[in-house]
Amino acid sequence: MRELPKIYHDTKKRFNNNKEVFLSYSDKPLEINKTDIRNKINNILNSKDFIYRTKVNILIDNELISKKIIGIRGDNLITIDNELIPIDKIQDIYK
């Protein structure tokens, strides 16, 4: 097998791809509208595919929790495991 010529590569060039990061967010706390959360919950519970329970993702204190909800009572969501989740602590909820 014959020997091919070497490929040129620059030895002086430095790559810093992973060292520079741009963050674009505000330190201002996120305002949550409680009527929007309650409307989202009502839309999930009143949807045509909701028979007895549905699996939802709930954002509480910047932590994503996956639960199966069966209903709402007062100011709490009721899960299939008989847990009560206060609606005023929920930041976001979706299927």
pLDDT in tens, the chain (95 residues): 678 778 877 777 776 666 555 556 666 665 667 788 999 999 999 999 888 899 999 999 889 999 999 999 999 999 999 999 999 999 999 99
Determine the Cα–Cα distance for residues 60 and 43; give it in Å rounded to an integer: 19
Q: CB neighbours (10 Å) of residue 77?
A: 22
Count other C-beta atoms under 10 Å from residue 67's C-beta.
19
Q: Which CATH architecture has domain 34-94?
A: Roll (2.30)
E strand spans, the chain: 54-60, 63-73, 76-79, 84-86, 90-94
- Per-residue pLDDT at 20: 58
